[in-house]
Amino acid sequence: MENNKVEVIIVGAGPAGASAAITLARAGKKVLLADRADNAGDKNVFGGTIYAKQTAEIYPNFWKTAPVERAVTEQKIFMLTDCDSVQFGYKYASKASYKAFTVKRANWDRWCVEQAQKEGAYFAPKTLVKELLIENGKVVGIQTEFEKFYSDIVIIADGVNSLLAKQIGLRNEIKDKDVSLSVKEVIEIPKENLQDRFNIDDEDGCACKILGGPLKDIMALGFMCTNKNSIALGYSVSIDELKKHNIKPYELLEELKEHPTIASYIKGGKTIEYSSHLIPEGGYNCIPKVYDNRVLVAGDAAMFVNNIHFEGTNLAMLSGKLAAETAIEALNLSDCSASVLCSYYKKLEDSILIKDLRTHKNTIDVIRKNIHTLTSLYPELACDFFDLLTAADEIPKRAKYRKFLSKFIKSRGITASIPFVFLAMEKCFKK
């Protein structure tokens, strides 16, 4: 690198930064990808799945060579009461319909950065970026702990806290209600036991979401995913709820592990990792300005997480790619001002990223208002219903239907219950 100068500097080698780097390198641009970690992904926390579609657009056929753990062939939802559970799932019929893969971030991020390096990107690990370099009111590069690097454009992909976006006024502090703390354990289980418990084959995997149980009545969602020979188990909880309920994150995770349904999956396992991380969850209403003169913002730094569909990595990769494509256009025009870089937001708007976030711009508020219904009442009703359906005892079925129906109406209110009332009337009251 001549005189510490490249065309584009990317700060952060997570999914957003790596996809920006590879896109720029493929276009023949000189690009420096800087990350504070000793190795890409070392400090990155994750407990789930990467999505095949957007990933393959950047890394074609990635599953053939990338360090994926398992192809997700089943997605499940667990509704927990204090002791019981109802589980339902969607098992993909055909392997051709692989949609997602479980990965370990340390391995995955490293592989992605290696692909970018193979295309010609410079990677600088152990490089903590202290601030953006500003000269005559213009961003001209970065200041690391030890040296300065210069570029025409900086892509900020430094994750949820994004000190750099804050430095130039693109981001404010996130409000407590718009960010979640995620805590997670990786629990090692012999491969055969794991596959038996989840009823999956050698390469196949299962991704579960968990509602209720110890997480009832709080804005929290659990997750459980299968790696090759370990399970990632955790939950995320909104920071304001954490404070309001005075939750001790680790204790709540312990309670989740002790729930009889969850305990049966992790029985005999050994915790090999415990970690926590923030997830930006404000969605569409919290998207900051994502471009300025000589600067673009991508991934979590731009709050691109769709928490209704548990999507973050795919939006990070997509936004990194679109930021890189915008940078390429600007470099080719020799104009890196905001008037050219603003086309980044247009690209985001034309993609699923803004469309999906806009679709859900009020969904979290609705969930927040109905959190008791979703995490406490529905799991309870679902368990009651299956109990009613399956218990063969001396209580007449009609009495059971009446009891269930009256509980349902009392808890949901008459308007929400009308369709169910009609359905059930016949069974309960018709002679």
Ligand X SMILES: Cc1cc2nc3c(=O)[nH]c(=O)nc-3n(C[C@H](O)[C@H](O)[C@H](O)COP(=O)(O)OP(=O)(O)OC[C@H]3O[C@@H](n4cnc5c(N)ncnc54)[C@H](O)[C@@H]3O)c2cc1C
Interface residues toward ligand X, by CB under 6 A: 11-17, 34-37, 43-49, 127-129, 157-159, 163, 182, 184, 234, 277, 279, 299-301, 305, 310-314, 316
Task: Report in angstroms how near the CB of residue 311 gets to ligand X at its nearest.
Answer: 5
State which residue, 128 or 423, has the beta carbon closest to ligand X.
128
State which residue, 15 or 379, has the beta carbon closest to ligand X.
15
Q: Rounded to 5 degrees, what are φ and ψ at 52?
A: -65, -40
Task: Report in angstroms how near the CB of residue 42 gets to ligand X at its nearest.
Answer: 8
Task: Report in angstroms how near the CB of residue 12 gets to ligand X at its nearest.
Answer: 3
Which residue of the chain is nearest ligand X when measured via CB?
48
How are beta strands 295-297 and 204-212 bridged, if at all?
A: unpaired
- A 10 A CB-CB count for 97 gives 10
User: What does the alpha-carbon distance between residue 203 and residue 344 come to, in Å, rounded to a whole number?
Assistant: 38
Q: Which two tokens stand for residue 181?
A: 């703390």
Contact 377, 393 (CB under 8 A): no
User: What does the alpha-carbon distance between residue 377 and residue 79 come to, in Å, rounded to a whole number?
Assistant: 10
State which residue, 19 or 376, has the beta carbon closest to ligand X.
19
Task: Report in angstroms how near the CB of residue 301 gets to ligand X at its nearest.
Answer: 6
Q: Which two tokens stand for residue 388?
A: 């009613």
Q: Which two tokens stand for residue 85?
A: 């559970």
* Residue pointed to by tokens 């049966």: 264
Q: What angle do CA 67, 70, 73 make, to 5 degrees?
A: 145
State which residue, 120 or 125, has the beta carbon closest to ligand X.
125
Task: Report in angstroms how near the CB of residue 324 gets to ligand X at its nearest.
Answer: 13
Task: Report in angstroms how near the CB of residue 75 gets to ligand X at its nearest.
Answer: 11
State which residue, 85 or 182, has the beta carbon closest to ligand X.
182
User: What does the alpha-carbon distance between residue 430 and residue 81 come to, in Å, rounded to a whole number?
Assistant: 32
Task: Report in angstroms how near the CB of residue 39 gets to ligand X at its nearest.
Answer: 10
Q: With residue 245 as reference, give the H or E element that holds it.
A: none
- Please, is 107 exposed, middle or buried when counting C-beta atoms within 10 Å of its C-beta (0-12, 13-18, 19+)? middle
Task: Report in angstroms how near the CB of residue 14 gets to ligand X at its nearest.
Answer: 2
Q: With residue 129 as reference, give the H or E element that holds it.
A: strand 129-135
User: What does the alpha-carbon distance between residue 211 and residue 373 come to, in Å, rounded to a whole number?
Assistant: 11
- Please, is 163 exposed, middle or buried when counting C-beta atoms within 10 Å of its C-beta (0-12, 13-18, 19+)? middle
Task: Report in angstroms how near the CB of residue 220 gets to ligand X at its nearest.
Answer: 12
Contact 365, 392 (CB under 8 A): no
User: What does the alpha-carbon distance between residue 146 and residue 47 come to, in Å, rounded to a whole number?
Assistant: 34
Task: Report in angstroms how near the CB of residue 46 gets to ligand X at its nearest.
Answer: 5
* Residue pointed to by tokens 């009308």: 418
State which residue, 34 or 237, has the beta carbon closest to ligand X.
34
State which residue, 157 or 256, has the beta carbon closest to ligand X.
157
State which residue, 205 or 384, has the beta carbon closest to ligand X.
205
Q: Rounded to 5 degrees, what are φ and ψ at 104?
A: -100, 125
The residues, ordered by sequence, that sit 6+ positions from 94 with a Cβ below 8 Å of its Cβ are none
State which residue, 124 or 341, has the beta carbon closest to ligand X.
124
